[in-house]
């Protein structure tokens, strides 16, 4: 933590809530998209799981970049 700066707990709690809400939406929707494509294309079970894992990874990457921007705009320090 930078010297002489205090943590703004209101902004910190907002960022945590946003991470939970948006993370659930992004990762869940990505995972569901992989499941839907695997079922729609009638792929084998292992390939379908690969689609799910790949799409879930994309969801986590999107969440990472979203949170980087959110932290940049909603400063944690006073």
Q: Is residue 78 part of a domain?
A: no
Instruction: Map residue 69 onto helix, strand or coil.
Output: helix
Q: Name, in order, each residue with C-beta under 8 angstroms of 39's C-beta and a sequence gap of 6 or more.
A: 48
Token pair recorded at residue 8: 């703004």
Q: Which pLDDT band, with edges at 50, 70 and 90, does 76 fall under?
A: confident
Q: Count of domains in the chain? A: 1
Kindly state whether residue 1 falls inside one of the protein's structural domains: no
Residue numbers of the domain that contains 58? 9-73
CB 63 within 8 A of CB 19: yes
Q: 60 lies in a domain?
A: yes
Could you read off the pLDDT of 3-55 as tens digits, one per residue?
678 888 999 999 999 999 999 999 999 999 999 999 999 999 999 999 999 99
Q: What's the pTM?
A: 0.81
What span, in angstroms and rounded, lies between the C-alpha atoms of 77 and 5? 6
CA atoms lying within 13 Å on the CB side of residue 22: 17
Is residue 4 situated within a structural domain? no
């Amino acid at each position: 933590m930078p010297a002489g700066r205090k943590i703004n707990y209101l902004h910190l709690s907002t960022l945590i809530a946003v991470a939970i809400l948006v993370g659930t939406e992004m990762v869940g929707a990505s995972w569901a998209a992989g499941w839907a494509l695997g079922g729609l294309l009638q792929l084998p079970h292992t390939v379908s799981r690969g689609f799910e894992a790949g799409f879930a990874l994309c969801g986590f990457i999107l969440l990472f970049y979203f949170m980087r921007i959110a932290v940049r705009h909603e400063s944690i320090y006073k």
